[in-house]
Structure 1
Amino acid sequence: MATVLSVSGSPSATSRTARLLRHLDDRLRGQGHEVTTLDVRTLPAEALLGADFGHPAITGAAARFARADGIVIGTPVYKAAYSGLLKTLLDVLPQYALTGKTVLPLATGGSTAHVLALDYALRPVLSSMGAAHIVPGWFTVDKDISTAADGTTTLAPAPAEALARVTDLFSAALGGRVTGHLATVAV
C-alpha cells in the first residue's frame, strides 16, 4: 500500500497529540500502509531555529517527506494556531515538500474555541506547500483524550468515531483498504 509519514508538532514528550497520532498510525498499519513517525521535538533546536537547511537532521526530515505518499500532521493548538515547533519545521522544508501528497491535518486543544485553527492557520500553509489533496481534518478536545496508569490511551466515543472516519477517508485517498469497524475504535 502507501507509505505514510506521521508528524507530531508537539513539544511535549507526553503529548496527547502524539498519543492520538500513534493510535491513528496503528489503524493505518492495520489497513496495509507502511507508517513511519517524526516527532519534531527530536530534531535539533539549533537547526530548526537557525533555519539550517543543510543540517543532516533537516535534510533527513525533508527526505522522509519526499518518500511518503501521505502525511498525517498533528499539532496542539496554542494561541489559536498550530504549534511554533511545527511552524519551524515547515519553514525549513523545501517550498513544495508536499507536492503530490495526500495530507491529513489533526489538532488537539483545550476547547472547541480553537477548532478553526486547522482550516484558517494550518490548511493554507499545507496547500501552499503543494499538497495534492488535504482531506478533512479533525480537532479533538484535550478532555476527550485520557490515559490510564498502564499507558493505554482512550478517546471519548464521539471523537473516536469521527477520527476513525477521517482516518479511513485518508486511507481510502491513499488507496488503502478501510476497515469500517467504527464501533471498535479505541485509542
Structure 2
Amino acid sequence: MQVTVVTGNPKVASRTLDAAIMLASRLAGRAPDHVVDVATLGPALLDWGDPDIAAAVDTVSSSDLVVVASPTFKATYTGLLKLFLDQFPTGTGLAGVVAVPLMLGAGPAHALAPELLLRPVLVELGATVVAPGTYLQESRYDDPSAFDAYVARWASPVRALAAAAVPA
C-alpha cells in the first residue's frame, strides 16, 4: 500500500504538514511513502506543463491512500491546495485512491470545513472518501492523542479499502 501526504499550507514544513504525517502514519500503521508539501512547488503550479508538477500529480494519483491537508483560510482550504488539485483530471484524477481530508484551524467554528468543502473536491476528482473529513484545532497539531478517536474508528476500514484499491 502506497501512502502519500499532500499539504496545502503556504508555509513550507508547517504544522499542517506535521499533523498530516501523524494522521497518515496512524491510519496506515507506518510512515507515509511520499510527502507533497505543495508550498515547495512554487510558481510552477501555474505552469500546466511543468514536469515537477506532473511528477507530484503522478505520485499522488498512483497512491493507495492519500491524506490531503490544509489549514483553514477564509473558512475553506487554501488557494494553494486548490491550484494543485486543479492539476488532476475531473472524475479520474484520483480514481482508485482512498483520500482522507484533514483541516486545521484556530477554533471549532470551522469544524465542518473538511466535510463540506474539501471532501467534495476530492470526490469530484474520483477519490474514494470512506471516512469523514477530520478537523483539528491547530493548538493540538502535535498531540498524537488528538487523533485517537478518529483512528480507532476509521483506521481499519481505510486500510482495508486502500489495500483493495485498484488503480485507475
Matched, 1:100 2:96: yes
Contact 1:65–1:71 (CA under 8 A) maintained in structure 2: yes
Q: Is the 8 A contact 1:44 1:57 kept in 2?
A: no
CA distance in 1, matches of 2:73, 2:12: 16
Verify: 1:161 aligned to 2:112, yes or no.
no
Offset of 1:124 from its aligned partner?
A: 1.2
Structure 1 unaligned spans of 5+:
146-152, 177-187
Give me the whole-angstrom Cα distance separating, in 1, the residues matched to 2:14 and 2:32: 23
Letter in 1 for 2:62: R
TM-score of the superposition, structure 2-length normalised? Answer: 0.84
Counterpart of 1:35 in structure 2 is 33
Task: Name which one, 1 or 2, has greater alpha-carbon Rg.
Answer: 1
State the distance in 1 between where 2:7 and 2:19 align: 10
Equivalent residue runs for 1:49-64 within 5 Å: 50=46, 52-64=47-59
Match of residue 22 from structure 1: 21
Tell me, yes or no, if structure 1 residue 172 matches structure 2 residue 155.
no
Matched, 1:80 2:80: no
Tell me the distance in 1 between the aligned counterparts of 2:121 and 2:5.
Answer: 17
Distance 1:118 1:26, change over 3 A: closer
What residue in structure 2 maps to residue 109 of structure 1?
A: 105
TM-score (norm 1): 0.76
CA contact (8 A) 1:25 1:35 kept: no
Give the drift of 1:14.
Answer: 4.4
Report if the CA contact (8 A) 1:3-1:70 is conserved. yes
Between the aligned partners of 2:13 and 2:53, the Cα distance in structure 1 is 23
1:100/1:26 CA distance change after superposition, 3 Å: closer
* Residue 65 of structure 1: aligned partner: 60
- What's the Cα RMSD here? 2.2
1:137 matched residue in structure 2: 133
1:68 shift after superposition: 0.8
Q: List alignment gaps of at least 5 residues for structure 2.
A: none
Tell me how far 1:4 sits from its aligned partner.
Answer: 1.4
Q: Distance in 2 between matches of 1:120 and 1:81?
A: 9
Q: In structure 2, do the counterparts of structure 1 residues 107 and 57 end up closer, same or farther at CA, with 3 Å as the change threshold?
A: same
Q: Which one-letter code corresponds to 1:22 in the other structure? A: I
1:65, distance to aligned residue in structure 2 (A):
1.9
Once the two structures are aligned, what percentage of the paired residues are identical?
34
How many aligned residue pairs are there? Answer: 162
Cα offset, 1:21, TM superposition = 1.5
